[in-house]
């Protein structure tokens, strides 16, 4: 059973050294040593429910099953991920506190905040990728946009009053990238989370949003939201009639939401390697592929070195997008 910790301080003093003590053993021995008193803690900067939280819970369950070591979920939502980041960085660098980071906290925030209270690349060490999911452009059936071309056409009109909702820094920058490629404009309306931004579209407060497909899929299938396009080169099996952004001429708008595991940068390398090996086996398992395929997502099969390179590329990309959109860092 996976334990969940909500908004209370976790006593990390009991966690010291379980991974290090077994660093020379096999993955199960290294992670499972003294498991009854030394759980692994997943710090999750999302509330329960969205894709990042569900990913954390999936990997926590599988890690516990495959290693025998307890894994707890510590949801720390809010503050653009800052609350979760602070919780992860204030814990001991023992390899037993894992930050479940995403596009926002680990890349996009650096483009939107002038005085970011942490360094996404310098304060954390990548462990392994967990999942990624394509983005979908959504509107309400109550709005006049039947196709992506309708939305783009309206957004190109001088003085248009179109607005978009975005629940995180990453989603905001994805919309800005989309609008830049489409040659349109719209007003940004910030929300506290991805599904809150979707709700803004649902009730008609904003015209559209961009979010990963996983969370709003039931609303799409229930005809409460109108999908305009999926940000992929090819159509997807779960929504075969949904056009791609490439079909609308946006061939370079292939964006995904991604979730990955990180630890403090001063975590001893043997601990990072053992944790990466254990998570990597889960990510590459058939069960994991099937789990994410059902959600039209996929495991993110990037090891520590590849994830580091990918993160640097993401940091550079979103800084360019923010500068091109003339977004002044807060």
Q: What local confidence, expressed as pLDDT, does residue 107 receive? A: 95
Nearest one of 101, 5, 128 to 46, comparing CA atoms: 101
Is 174's pLDDT higher than 50? yes
Residue pair 268/240 in contact (Cβ under 8 Å)? The answer is no
Task: Give the DSSP letter string of 119-186.
Answer: -TTTSEEEEEEEEEEEEEEEE-TTSS--SHHHHHHHHTSTT---EEEESSHHHHHHHHHHHHHHT---
Q: What is the average pLDDT score of the chain?
A: 88
The pLDDT tens digits for 231-249 are 988 998 889 999 999 998 8
Stretch (H or E) spanning 6: strand 3-6
- Exposed / middle / buried, residue 310 (Cβ in 10 Å: 0-12, 13-18, 19+): middle
The domain locations on the chain are 3-133+258-324, 134-248
Nearest one of 100, 85, 77, 43 to 192, comparing CA atoms: 77
Is 117's pLDDT higher than 70? yes
The answer to whether domain 3-133+258-324 and domain 134-248 are alike in fold is yes
* Average pLDDT over every residue of 70-90: 94
Q: Looking at residue 243, what DSSP letter applies?
A: P
Count Cα neighbours of 8 within 13 Å in the Cβ-side half-sphere. 6
Higher pLDDT, 25 or 211: 211
Residue pair 106/254 in contact (Cβ under 8 Å)? The answer is no
Give the integer Cα–Cα distance in Å for 201 and 215. 14
The pLDDT tens digits for 189-234 are 999 888 899 999 999 999 999 998 888 989 999 999 999 999 988 9
Give me the residues paired with residue 227 across strands: 138
Q: What local confidence, expressed as pLDDT, does residue 34 receive? A: 44
Task: Give the DSSP letter string of 37-54.
Answer: T--EEEEESS-SSSHHHH
- Sole residue written with tokens 């005809």: 223
Alpha carbon distance, N-terminus to C-terminus of the chain: 41
* Average pLDDT over every residue of 111-133: 95
Nearest one of 153, 210, 147 to 178, comparing CA atoms: 210
Domain 3-133+258-324, architecture per CATH: 3-Layer(aba) Sandwich (3.40)
Is 80's pLDDT higher than 50? yes
The pLDDT tens digits for 92-113 are 999 999 999 999 999 999 999 9
What are the distances in angstroms from CA 150 to CA 120, 144, 156, 184, 239? 38, 8, 10, 11, 20
- Sole residue written with tokens 């509107």: 139
Give the integer Cα–Cα distance in Å for 154 and 71. 49
Q: Is the torsion defined by CA of 3, 269, 131, 9 positive or negative?
A: positive
pTM of the model: 0.82
Q: What local confidence, expressed as pLDDT, does residue 194 receive? A: 84
The CATH fold assigned to 134-248 is D-Maltodextrin-Binding Protein; domain 2 (3.40.190)
Q: What local confidence, expressed as pLDDT, does residue 38 receive? A: 84
- Sole residue written with tokens 């309708």: 150
Q: Which two tokens stand for residue 250?
A: 């946006």
* Average pLDDT over every residue of 272-297: 95
Nearest one of 219, 254, 209 to 236, comparing CA atoms: 254
SS3 of residue 13 by DSSP: helix
């Amino acid at each position: 059973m996976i334990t969940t910790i909500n908004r209370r301080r976790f006593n990390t003093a009991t966690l010291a050294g379980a991974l290090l003590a077994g660093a020379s053993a096999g993955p199960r021995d290294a992670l499972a040593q003294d498991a009854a008193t030394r759980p692994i803690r997943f710090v999750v900067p999302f509330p329960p429910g969205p894709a990042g939280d569900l990913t954390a819970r999936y990997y926590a369950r599988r890690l516990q099953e495959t290693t025998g070591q307890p894994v707890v979920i510590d949801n720390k939502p809010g503050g653009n991920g800052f609350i979760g980041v602070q919780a992860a960085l204030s814990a001991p660098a023992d390899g037993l506190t894992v930050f479940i980071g995403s596009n926002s906290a680990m890349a996009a925030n650096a483009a939107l905040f002038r005085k970011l209270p942490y360094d996404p690349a310098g304060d954390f060490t990548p462990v392994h990728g967990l999942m990624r999911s394509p983005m979908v452009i959504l509107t309400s059936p109550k709005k006049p946009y039947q196709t992506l071309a309708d939305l783009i056409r309206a957004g190109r009109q001088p003085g248009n009053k179109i607005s978009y909702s975005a629940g995180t820094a990453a989603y905001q920058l994805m919309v800005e990238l989309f609008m830049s490629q489409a040659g349109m404009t719209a007003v940004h309306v910030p929300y506290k989370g991805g599904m809150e931004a979707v709700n803004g579209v649902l009730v008609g407060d904003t015209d559209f949003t961009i979010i990963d497909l996983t969370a709003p899929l039931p609303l799409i299938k229930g005809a409460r939201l109108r999908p305009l396009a999926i940000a992929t080169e090819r159509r997807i099996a779960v929504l075969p009639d949904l056009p791609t952004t490439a079909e609308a001429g946006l061939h370079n708008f292939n964006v995904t939401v991604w979730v990955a595991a990180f630890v403090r940068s001063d975590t001893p390398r043997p601990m990072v390697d053992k944790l990466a090996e254990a998570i990597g086996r889960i990510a590459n398992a058939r069960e994991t592929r099937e789990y994410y395929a059902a959600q039209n997502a996929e495991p993110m099969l990037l090891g520590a070195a590849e994830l580091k390179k990918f993160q640097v590329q993401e940091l550079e990309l979103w800084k360019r997008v923010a500068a091109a959109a003339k977004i002044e860092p807060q």
